[in-house]
């Protein structure tokens, strides 16, 4: 286990260095947007990572409700936290790119922007709920909220779907217009971000396990002292 962690750390560091080089130097400069376009490698990789982590939160929430397995509960917490960090990266890099290209920081009627923002808000609520809870069975309540949040996502999407979008979606969906080098760069970046997310999740998971053990030990100790 400890060895796997070290190996993952080394792989992540290597991949992140390669990804930095491919994104900033190796990939060709985009014709109309220029160097600003390079933020795309971080933006898209973070978005994919964040969405994947939120889906994992949904799955772990269901698993926890069905099986009441504590590992699933910890994993739901960890994936929401780390997913939120990557989602924040998406929401910060987006406007940085949009200002020079669209001329505005934020388009209040754009479907992709608003769906991502709504998703971000939902998972902040999830973490606030966990933080504020005084219940000993917060895992169950948080899992229920995770499921409600996931149910809300299609509605958020549909409720803004007939607003226009100027977000460049065809680049990825159709694939044709993207230079193969750019494709490789974005995939390497994604792989690097996924490894980073994995590494952070793993660390956070171990921390949470340790914290719960400490809490349990403390509770046991105070019980023993009370009995004496």
Partner 1 sequence: MSFLAIARATLAKDVRLEWRSKDAINAMLFFSLLVVVIFSFAFDPTAEESRRIAGGLVWVAFLFAAIVALNQTWARELRNQVLDAYRVSPAPATPLFIAKALGNFLFVGVLEVLMTPLFVMFYKLRPLGLGWELVPVALLGTWALVVNGTFFAAMSLRTRAREIMLPLLLFPLSIPALLGMVNATTAILTGEESPAFWIALLVAYDVVFTTACLLLFETVLEAE
Interface ranges with partner 1 (CB under 8 A) = 65, 118, 121-122, 124-125, 128-129, 132-135, 137, 140-141, 144-145, 147-149, 151-152, 155-156, 158-160, 162
| Complex with partner 1: residue 29 or 133, whichever CB lies closer | 133
Contact residues for 82 (Cβ-Cβ < 8 A; gap 6+): 53, 197, 200, 201, 204
Contact 153, 83 (CB under 8 A): no
| Complex with partner 1: residue 20 or 144, whichever CB lies closer | 144
Contact 8, 202 (CB under 8 A): yes
Cα angle 82, 16, 4 (rounded to 5 degrees) comes to: 70
CB of 147 to partner 1, least distance (A): 7
Contact 115, 160 (CB under 8 A): yes
CB of 224 to partner 1, least distance (A): 27
CB of 117 to partner 1, least distance (A): 9
| Complex with partner 1: residue 37 or 57, whichever CB lies closer | 57
| Complex with partner 1: residue 12 or 115, whichever CB lies closer | 115
CB of 35 to partner 1, least distance (A): 35
In the 8-state DSSP scheme, what is residue 28? P
CB of 91 to partner 1, least distance (A): 14
Give the residue among 145, 86, 79, 91 at the shortest CA–CA distance from 117: 91
CB of 139 to partner 1, least distance (A): 8
| Complex with partner 1: residue 14 or 151, whichever CB lies closer | 151
The gap from C-alpha 118 to its chain's centroid, in whole angstroms, comes to 14
| Complex with partner 1: residue 65 or 96, whichever CB lies closer | 65
Give the residue among 87, 79, 107 at the shortest CA–CA distance from 200: 79
Contact 90, 212 (CB under 8 A): no
Residue count (the chain): 228
């Amino acid at each position: 286990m400890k060895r796997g962690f070290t190996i993952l750390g080394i792989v992540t560091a290597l991949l992140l260095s390669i990804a930095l080089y491919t994104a900033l130097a190796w990939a060709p400069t985009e014709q109309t947007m220029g160097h600003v376009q390079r933020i795309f490698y971080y933006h898209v990789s973070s978005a994919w990572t964040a969405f994947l982590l939120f889906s994992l939160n949904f799955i772990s929430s269901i698993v926890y409700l069905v099986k009441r397995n504590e590992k699933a509960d910890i994993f739901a917490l960890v994936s929401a936290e780390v997913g939120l960090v990557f989602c924040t990266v998406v929401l910060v890099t987006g406007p940085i790119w949009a200002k020079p290209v669209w001329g505005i920081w934020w388009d209040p009627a754009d479907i992709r922007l608003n769906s991502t923002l709504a998703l971000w808000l939902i998972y902040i609520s999830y973490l606030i709920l966990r933080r504020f809870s005084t219940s000993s069975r917060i895992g169950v309540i948080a899992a229920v909220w995770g499921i409600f949040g996931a149910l809300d996502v299609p509605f958020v999407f549909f409720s803004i779907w007939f607003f226009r979008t100027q977000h460049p979606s065809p680049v990825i969906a159709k694939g044709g217009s993207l230079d193969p080098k750019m494709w490789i760069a974005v995939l390497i970046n994604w792989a690097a971000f996924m490894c980073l997310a994995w590494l952070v999740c793993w660390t956070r998971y171990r921390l949470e396990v340790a914290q719960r053990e400490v809490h349990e030990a403390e509770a046991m100790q105070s019980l023993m002292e009370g009995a004496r």
